[in-house]
Amino acid sequence: MNTNKNNGNTARNNRRGAIDYASRRAFLKAFGAGTVLSPFIPLLDAQAQAAPLRLIVITGHNGWGEASKWYPSGGGTSFTMGSTCNSLEPYKKDIIFFKDFEGRYQSDEAGVHPMASANLLTGSPATRPAGGTIYERQDATRATSISIDQHVAKITGKSTRHESMIMGCGAEPFSAGDHIGGSVSYRGASDPIIAEADIFLVFDRFFAGAANTMVPPSGAVNVRAGDERSILDAVSKNLEWMKGRVGTEDLRRLGAHLEGIRSIEKRLPPLGQDDGMPVPVSGCAAPTIPAKSGTFNTRQAARFLPAIVHAQIDIMLAAMACDLTRVGLVQIGVTTGLWPPSFMGLTNTLHDISHNFNADMSRFTQRTLQEGFGYLLKRLNEVKDGADPMMKNVAAFWTNEFGDGDAHQGSPMPIIAAGQAGGKWKTGRYVVFNGKRKHTDFLLSVGKLFDPNLSKFGSDPSAGPVAELAG
Amino acid sequence: MVKMLRNHGSFSRSALALMVSFSACSGASTGGENTPGDLPGDEDPDVPVETAGCKTNATFVRSPMRRLTAVEFDYAAADLFGEAGATGVELLPSDEITAGYANNSVITLQPNQVEKFQSAARRIAEGTVTRVDKMVPCPGDKEKCALDFIDRVGRRAMRRPLETEESDLFAKMYRDKAKATDHAQGIRLIVETMLQYPSFMYRPIVGVETAKDGVRKLTKWELAGRLSFFLWNSVPDDELMESAEAGKLETPSGIREQTERMMQDDRFDRSLKAFSVQWFDVGAIAPDKNPADFPNFNQEVWGSMRDGLAQFFAHAVRNGGDMTTLMTGPFAFANKKTATIYGVPAKSDTLELFDTNPAQRGGLMTQAGVMAALGNTEVSRPIKRGLFVRNRLLCQDPPPPPPEGVPPFEAAGDNLTVREMLEAHRADPTCASCHTFFDPPGLAFSHFDGVGQYHEMEKGKKVDASGTLIDTDVDGDFTNAIEFMNMLKDSSLVAACVSTQIFRFAIGRLEEDGDKCAQEATVKQFADSQQSLPGLFTSIATSDSFRFTGSETP
């Protein structure tokens, strides 16, 4: 049980700063309170409320390496993980390991990599322009519809401060050849989201930073929010003005910008009102992340992948515990991938490894599963929604645009599901399909968890839900 | 033709001026005097030039709206509000790269990215509070000064005069804020708003209809913006805006006049850097190298290499260089961090111009940053280098990726040099068809290791960098990088590709069929000017592709 007497102490003592205005909102929302917190409203423990369902996606890239090391042995509820997936062995009870999905909308033309990753979560064929050399066309490869994480985020985002948290480790396009087309998350056709690598920026966005500076100490007049409001108003007016003066392609981008402005406006406290007092919610605290010092570089996946991915997962789960968002994605690496995973002593680039060093590809997949999906499963058992582990209220999955990366084959496509999805998924099983299941079937199933009336997702008219998820 | 003025450690403005006027004369295919009105298109500036011998049915495609890149945002903030480097470029959203260059022409801003611009604008604006008197000198009425500031700076920031409603809105924001707090806070609010203002952040190109169907001409304001971001990576200055207002950017000659002026300004270096590091794909973050092999390589060394590459290119252009300079110029900009790599006696932290051993190193390709970016973590990287030459210097498509079952070339054996591994690999006919195309242009650089240092020996054997170049207009045998680059310098394919690369940087999209005539004209002017690099920038800025646009993507 929490009361407003212990106002902020634990949170303020946190190394990275106080739980801010955001948590207060989440807190207020959880109790159905209005914008003004009355001291007379009895304060309940946040966990007394039913925990919401969240979606977590972790992606690997360039395939799984050696097929022989990929699959578990045994079957049904009695199975042993293959050596590539050995880090998941302690969490077998929480997963459904599938053999296998058929990847839909595969392409076999040159420069297929970004086409495959654009198709992965959207379930639609990718597109690219005709001009330039193959490198330029790869850069310009785009998905043609929204990805499942963003589809869900549009639904769950109505109830949370942030629609989603899309992060990546070594997934950013640092240079030509590291394709924008390597994005897996799309807000819509030709609208990729570049996964954010910088854990400090994500931390600040969710737990301090912009929101914090809008929030004055208790009792002060909220000057900053007044400024923000008048700036955003001017920006909105200008966007509207511009919208009347550009072509349809550009209009789309101005519209999205305006949407961003509106979502920021919504987070501002009412004019003139002191709405800045941080309020702690039990079980909701800013995560501890690595210090911003030394040689640690949050954009240098090659060297620091484990620390970066752990921090990203910690930030995601902390934000979910506070109900700041219900959709999170961590993209580990990128299709093609021009950096070498030197953190584990490998000196060739990801792309070279996927084509020329199959044993190393297995090692890389093993290690990134361990640091990514394995770590996620560990933490989902530790982080609580009240008495239950968060695992119970999560639908998570790991996937990869290729099974056999060397051959650029998206079929079979690996998908490992995890979490009980609020009771809808029956975990602890190794499922070998009797007949074919397409990856678009799985995407539809995930969508239906959040949108029960969903009948079609992506471009596949014949996709149907994967019944095996429920047992 | 004046070649490199090698004794100039810093950029020679007089040499550039000389080159510019020269190229202006010879670059004009009419061969007239260097006075406004002598360029093709001057006579009827409102429609594209009908070039004899060039026919295309395609029309210009629409130029997508670009959002300022991170460095453009930073430069523009500095030019408008006077504090360079205040932005925290690494805190802005990553740039989106298309056609090889950062131009942010597709991706929409996510709310978290909008917040990044909010934060940057706030940081910069708060920095102006203590120096407001310097930024807005005001001996008299503060409000009047503020309103002047709004209109004057607003015009440059948005690359057009402010609309009356906008001007009024900014004025009201200033007044309300100044009344509640003070003048400095009022100005701060204006700065913060302008930096987040979409008309500042985005560069739409819409144009106006012309007599030719589907062809639109850029407005004078759009042209001024396109010119300043092309040449300065930033907003226009007052002079450029005045020249736009006076209608002087309506004709190719008028554009040329401004282009020549702007290329003599220090701000031109920014674009030369932005272009060269993107052309050569030398990013801000150091490529990963195995510390066991390269213990001294780190982000600082990388930064010096990267800046050194940019300065090489800038020096070549500033001093009226040509393809020979670009491809073979035996010099480098080094400091004490890169001295060993270049084998020069640099002692300073600052980059300085040094001669390199002309038998070993010359031209852009052999700059340490390029060799390191295209180097492996351990050994030299012929395939990557070869593909780069094909793609970025020759503008050629690589062959399709390897078919299934091609063995890794390392399978040939551990004690072999990279060349020997590749030779074993090429012995397989299924491998040979592609590898004879892209191995040799990479093997030419075998003397350069993973950080771009020159070596005579590899694994106890004398380095062999010989090979045969095929499928170009300068095919033939070479024994090392110097010979190889001496072949490329004479290639019209390479010259045209350089022009194409600058085109993509300038226009922000891939070349299309509708650009064919304008591109051919540019390439011809480049050849006619004896390949004057500054002349090439002028040619592109005055070309039809730069001055016109399409309505929508056909």
For the CA atoms of A126, A131, A135, A141, what is the dihedral angle to 10 degrees?
-20
| pLDDT, position B345 | 96
| pLDDT, position A280 | 35
Better pLDDT: A52 or A15: A52
For chain A, the farthest-separated pair of C-alpha atoms sits apart, in whole angstroms, at 67
What are B352-361's contacts with CB under 8 Å, separation 24+? B352/B9, B353/B8, B353/B9, B353/B315, B355/B6, B355/B330, B355/B331, B356/B330, B356/B331, B356/B332, B357/B330, B357/B454, B358/B330, B358/B482, B359/B482, B360/B447, B360/B454, B360/B482, B361/B330, B361/B332, B361/B454, B361/B481, B361/B482
Among B62, B68, B95, B114, which would you mutate to test the A interface (most chain A Cβ atoms within 10 Å of its Cβ)? B114
From A127-141, B128-142, B293-307, B498-512, the region with the lowest mean pLDDT: A127-141
Better pLDDT: A11 or A203: A203
In angstroms, the CA B316 to CA B333 distance is 12
| pLDDT, position B230 | 98
What's the mean pLDDT in B335-343?
A: 96
A374 token code pair: 């394995």
Kindly indicate the confidence band of residue B37, based on its pLDDT and cuts at 50, 70 and 90.
low
Kindly indicate the confidence band of residue B408, based on its pLDDT and cuts at 50, 70 and 90.
low
Among B92, B108, B200, B222, which would you mutate to test the A interface (most chain A Cβ atoms within 10 Å of its Cβ)? B108
What's the mean pLDDT in B42-52?
A: 83
What's the mean pLDDT in A373-397?
A: 95
Whether the CB-CB separation of B220 and B250 falls below 8 Å is answered with yes
Whether the predicted pLDDT of B27 surpasses 80: no
Nearest Cα to A316, choosing from A306, A308, A326, A307?
A326
Whether the CB-CB separation of A121 and A184 falls below 8 Å is answered with yes
What's the mean pLDDT in B521-544?
A: 95
Kindly indicate the confidence band of residue A208, based on its pLDDT and cuts at 50, 70 and 90.
low
Whether the predicted pLDDT of B380 surpasses 60: no
Which among B196, B204, B398 is the nearest to A250, CB-wise? B204
Q: In the 3-class helix/strand/coil scheme, how is B131-178 assigned residue by residue?
A: HHHHHCCCCCCHHHHHHHHHHHHHHHHHCCCCCHHHHHHHHHHHHHHH
Which among B97, B109, B282 is the nearest to A260, CB-wise? B109
CB crowding B366-384: b at 16 or more within 10 Å, else e: bbbbbbbbbbbbbbbbbbb
Neighboring chain A residues of B96 at a CB cutoff of 8 Å: 173, 180, 194
| pLDDT, position B226 | 98
What's the mean pLDDT in A196-215?
A: 65
Better pLDDT: A280 or A89: A89
First to last CA, chain A: 37
| pLDDT, position A162 | 82
From B12-16, B29-33, B529-533, the region with the lowest mean pLDDT: B29-33
Neighboring chain B residues of A250 at a CB cutoff of 8 Å: 64-65, 202, 204
Q: Which residues contact B540 (CB under 8 A, 6 or more apart)?
A: B230, B499, B502, B503, B506, B522, B546
B145 token code pair: 């000064």
The chain A residue lying nearest B391, using CA atoms, is A133
Kindly indicate the confidence band of residue B292, based on its pLDDT and cuts at 50, 70 and 90.
confident
From A55-59, A126-130, A270-274, B11-15, the region with the lowest mean pLDDT: B11-15
Contact yes or no for A131 and B511 at CB 8 A: yes
From A151-165, A365-379, B359-373, the region with the lowest mean pLDDT: A151-165
Whether the predicted pLDDT of A416 surpasses 50: yes
pLDDT digits (tens, 9 = 90+) for B323-333: 999 999 999 99
A276 token code pair: 């800045």
Alpha-helical segments (H) within B380-532 = 382-388, 418-426, 429-443, 481-488, 492-507, 516-528
From the CA of A301, how many Å to the nearest CA of chain B? 10
| pLDDT, position A268 | 65
Global model pTM greater than 0.95? no
pLDDT digits (tens, 9 = 90+) for B353-374: 999 999 999 999 999 999 998 8
From the CA of A469, how many Å to the nearest CA of chain B? 33
Burial class for A19, CB neighbours closer than 10 Å (0-12, 13-18, 19+): buried
The chain A residue lying nearest B109, using CA atoms, is A257
In angstroms, the CA B486 to CA B484 distance is 5
Better pLDDT: A168 or B430: A168
Nearest Cα to B388, choosing from B473, B290, B488, B464?
B488
Kindly indicate the confidence band of residue A46, based on its pLDDT and cuts at 50, 70 and 90.
very low
The A residues from 271 to 330 touching B (CB cutoff 8 Å) are 297, 299-300, 302-303
Nearest Cα to B496, choosing from B393, B411, B365?
B393
Given CB atoms, is B197 within the 8 Å cutoff of chain A? Answer: yes
Map residue A451 onto helix, strand or coil: coil
By percentage, how much of chain B surpasses pLDDT 90? 62
Map residue A397 onto helix, strand or coil: strand
A298 token code pair: 């949050």
Nearest Cα to B3, choosing from B328, B332, B321?
B321
What DSSP state is assigned to residue A101? Answer: B
Better pLDDT: B230 or B296: B230
Whether the predicted pLDDT of A367 surpasses 90: yes
Integer-rounded Cα radius of gyration of chain A: 22
| pLDDT, position B225 | 98
| pLDDT, position B401 | 63
Whether the CB-CB separation of B499 and B522 falls below 8 Å is answered with yes
In angstroms, the CA A372 to CA A306 distance is 8
Element housing B278 (H / E): helix B268-279
Map residue A418 onto helix, strand or coil: strand
Task: Work out how many CB contacts closer than 8 A connect A with B.
Answer: 194
| pLDDT, position B414 | 65
| pLDDT, position A435 | 81
Given CB atoms, is B58 within the 8 Å cutoff of chain A? Answer: no
User: Which residue has 């290499």 as its token pair?
Assistant: B305
In angstroms, the CA B295 to CA B542 distance is 48
Alpha-helical segments (H) within A52-126 = 113-120
Average pLDDT over all residues of chain A = 80
What's the mean pLDDT in A229-244?
A: 93
In angstroms, the CA A367 to CA A88 distance is 11
What's the mean pLDDT in B523-529?
A: 94
Strands A388-389 and A73-75: unpaired
Whether the predicted pLDDT of A278 surpasses 90: no
The B residues from 493 to 522 touching A (CB cutoff 8 Å) are 510-512
pLDDT digits (tens, 9 = 90+) for B449-473: 989 999 998 878 899 999 999 999 9
Among A203, A230, A237, A248, which would you mutate to test the B interface (most chain B Cβ atoms within 10 Å of its Cβ)? A230
| pLDDT, position A206 | 80
Average pLDDT over all residues of chain B = 87
Kindly indicate the confidence band of residue B494, based on its pLDDT and cuts at 50, 70 and 90.
very high
pLDDT digits (tens, 9 = 90+) for A296-326: 888 888 889 999 999 999 999 999 988 889 9
User: Which residue has 């839900």 as its token pair?
Assistant: A465
| pLDDT, position B510 | 85
Q: Provide the sign of the torsion angle of the four alpha carbons A338, A341, A342, A346, taken in this order.
A: negative
B33 token code pair: 């005097």
Query: Is the backbone of residue A318 left (phi > 0), alpha (psi -120 to 50) or beta?
Result: alpha
Neighboring chain A residues of B169 at a CB cutoff of 8 Å: 234, 237
| pLDDT, position B406 | 64
Which of A155-159, B382-386, B431-435, B494-498 reaches the highest mean pLDDT?
Answer: B494-498
Better pLDDT: A427 or A201: A427
In angstroms, the CA B334 to CA B342 distance is 7
**Cα within 13 Å of Cα(A452), Cβ side:** 1
| pLDDT, position B411 | 61
From the CA of B384, how many Å to the nearest CA of chain A? 11
Which of A147-151, A215-219, A250-254, B517-521 reaches the highest mean pLDDT?
Answer: A147-151
From the CA of B414, how many Å to the nearest CA of chain A? 14
Whether the predicted pLDDT of B299 surpasses 90: no
Nearest Cα to A173, choosing from A331, A410, A309, A65?
A331
Contact yes or no for A356 and B409 at CB 8 A: yes
Q: Which residues contact A61 (CB under 8 A, 6 or more apart)?
A: A117, A182, A331, A332, A333, A334, A335, A337, A350, A400, A401, A402, A405
What dotted CATH number matches A50-198+298-470?
3.40.720.10
In angstroms, the CA B59 to CA B351 distance is 46
| pLDDT, position A48 | 44
Contact yes or no for A303 and B288 at CB 8 A: yes
Which segments of B292-440 are extended strands (E)?
331-334, 352-355
Domains of chain A: which residue ranges?
Answer: 50-198+298-470, 223-268
pLDDT digits (tens, 9 = 90+) for B413-455: 667 777 887 888 788 877 787 888 988 999 999 999 989 999 9
Strands B548-550 and B352-355: unpaired
Q: Which residues contact B364 (CB under 8 A, 6 or more apart)?
A: B276, B280, B309, B312, B313, B326, B327, B370
| pLDDT, position B161 | 97
Domains of chain B: which residue ranges?
Answer: 66-203, 278-488
Q: What is the CA angle A173-A176-A177, rounded to 5?
A: 85
Neighboring chain B residues of A173 at a CB cutoff of 8 Å: 94, 96-97
